């Protein structure tokens, strides 16, 4: 009987210890720890990386905050992993310290082409400091997945200054069917003005163009994908390029993006190439030529893995934002 009582005592003691440990995390979060991985320079950023087999940069943007007792382990079987990026360190920091230094941004959402079949969401991220107005667009072509996937991550950014506009699924109907454009409606990226006296062609192009004018956009990045590498001269694809409209400091920033990205690419065949003059009728060409916007198209190559392509899109956007002092 004494042996049974001792076993019961140990069981109850173990249960009590577990309950006490968990209660410390849920009822006294100041003494719990938050897993912290830093990509951007502030060491207090709270990031928990989702598992991704190909790209640590990309996976770091599928983020969440986990408050755990020091006794609790997060393993691969839970669907999440805490994984530092190259050159970074994995550490723990008090939740209260990490949260207090987060960038303050106000996010609004509005619908462009509201009340029509083309309606799609625009995210307006405003900081408390004056600065440039940057617009990032994805999903102009519905089958170019990396662009709208990356933009859907960027819409949750915080910024240090200025305003960030994000249109993740510009051509939402094309995105929904996974095609370049909706049959019978033509290519959206040929619907923007081709002369100074021209007007956008169609409801959606007008709504997007008017948004650029309404917010007096300074910089515009249009995310696209090519079906092959630009350096494969047997095709006319522009995969792995940045195509800018030459004005102001656009070339300087574009060159910086290309230079930084190519540092991490071992094959010259897969490196990014800097080109001038987006195609006529495109959003980047029209806004650069007629609205005075520093604009460019960023093209990844669909022959690479999706996570790699999203990774490049995110890195390009981040380099631009850092060059402008917004990140």
Please tell me the predicted confidence (pLDDT) of residue 164. 98
How long, in residues, is the chain?
327
Euclidean distance between CA atoms 210 and 54, whole angstroms: 38
- Do 79 and 48 contact (CB within 8 A), yes or no? no
Which residue is it, tokens 């990045």?
221
Please tell me the predicted confidence (pLDDT) of residue 105. 84
Euclidean distance between CA atoms 150 and 153, whole angstroms: 5
Q: Which domains does the chain carry?
A: 27-100 (no CATH), 105-323 (3.40.630.10)
Euclidean distance between CA atoms 124 and 221, whole angstroms: 15
Please tell me the predicted confidence (pLDDT) of residue 63. 38
Cα–Cα distances in Å, from 141 out to 174, 191, 237, 271? 7, 12, 15, 23
Please tell me the predicted confidence (pLDDT) of residue 15. 57
Neighbours of 319 (CB within 10 A): 19
- Do 284 and 141 contact (CB within 8 A), yes or no? no
Output the tens digit of pLDDT for each of the chain's 327 residues.
544 455 555 555 555 555 544 444 444 433 333 332 333 333 333 333 333 334 445 554 443 333 333 333 333 333 333 333 344 333 333 333 333 334 678 999 999 999 999 999 999 999 999 999 999 999 999 999 999 999 999 999 999 999 999 999 999 999 999 999 999 999 999 999 999 999 999 999 999 999 999 999 999 999 999 999 999 999 999 999 999 999 999 999 999 999 999 999 999 999 999 999 999 999 999 999 999 999 999 999 999 999 999 999 999 999 999 999 999
Please tell me the predicted confidence (pLDDT) of residue 69. 31
Euclidean distance between CA atoms 113 and 126, whole angstroms: 22
Longest CA span, the chain? 97
CB-facing half-sphere around the CA of 263: CA atoms within 13 A: 8
Euclidean distance between CA atoms 109 and 80, whole angstroms: 29
Helix (H, G, I), strand (E, B) or coil at 294: strand
Please tell me the predicted confidence (pLDDT) of residue 12. 57
Please tell me the predicted confidence (pLDDT) of residue 58. 55
Please tell me the predicted confidence (pLDDT) of residue 67. 32
Please tell me the predicted confidence (pLDDT) of residue 22. 47
Please tell me the predicted confidence (pLDDT) of residue 85. 39
């Amino acid at each position: 009987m004494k042996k049974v009582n001792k076993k019961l005592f140990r069981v109850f003691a173990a249960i009590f210890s577990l309950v006490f440990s968990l209660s410390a995390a849920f009822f006294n979060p100041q003494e719990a720890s938050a897993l912290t991985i830093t990509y951007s320079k502030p060491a207090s950023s709270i990031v928990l990386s989702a598992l991704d087999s190909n790209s640590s940069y990309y996976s770091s943007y599928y983020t969440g905050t986990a408050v755990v007792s020091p006794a609790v382990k997060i393993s691969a079987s839970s669907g999440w992993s805490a994984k530092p990026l190259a050159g970074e360190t994995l550490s723990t920091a008090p939740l209260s310290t990490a949260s207090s230094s987060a960038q303050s941004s106000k996010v609004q959402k509005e619908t462009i082409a509201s009340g029509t079949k083309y309606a799609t969401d625009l995210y307006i991220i405003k900081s408390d400091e004056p600065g440039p107005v940057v617009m990032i667009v994805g999903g102009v072509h519905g089958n170019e997945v990396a662009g709208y996937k990356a933009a859907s991550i960027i819409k949750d950014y915080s910024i240090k200054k200025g305003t960030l506009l994000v249109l993740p699924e510009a051509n939402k109907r094309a995105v929904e069917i996974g095609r370049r454009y909706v049959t019978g409606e033509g290519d959206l990226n040929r619907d923007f003005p081709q002369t100074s006296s021209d007007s956008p062609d169609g409801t959606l192009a007008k709504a997007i163009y008017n948004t650029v004018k309404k917010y007096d956009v300074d910089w515009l990045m249009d995310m696209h994908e090519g079906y092959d590498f630009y350096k494969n001269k047997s095709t006319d694809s522009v995969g792995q390029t940045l195509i800018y409209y030459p004005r102001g400091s656009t070339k300087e920033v574009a060159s910086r993006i290309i230079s930084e990205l190519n540092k991490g690419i071992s094959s010259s065949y897969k490196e990014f190439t800097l080109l001038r003059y987006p195609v006529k009728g495109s959003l980047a060409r029209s806004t650069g030529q007629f609205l005075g916007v520093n604009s460019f198209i960023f093209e990844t190559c669909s022959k690479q893995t999706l996570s790699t392509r999203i990774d490049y899109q995110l890195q390009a956007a981040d380099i631009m934002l850092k060059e402008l002092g917004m990140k």
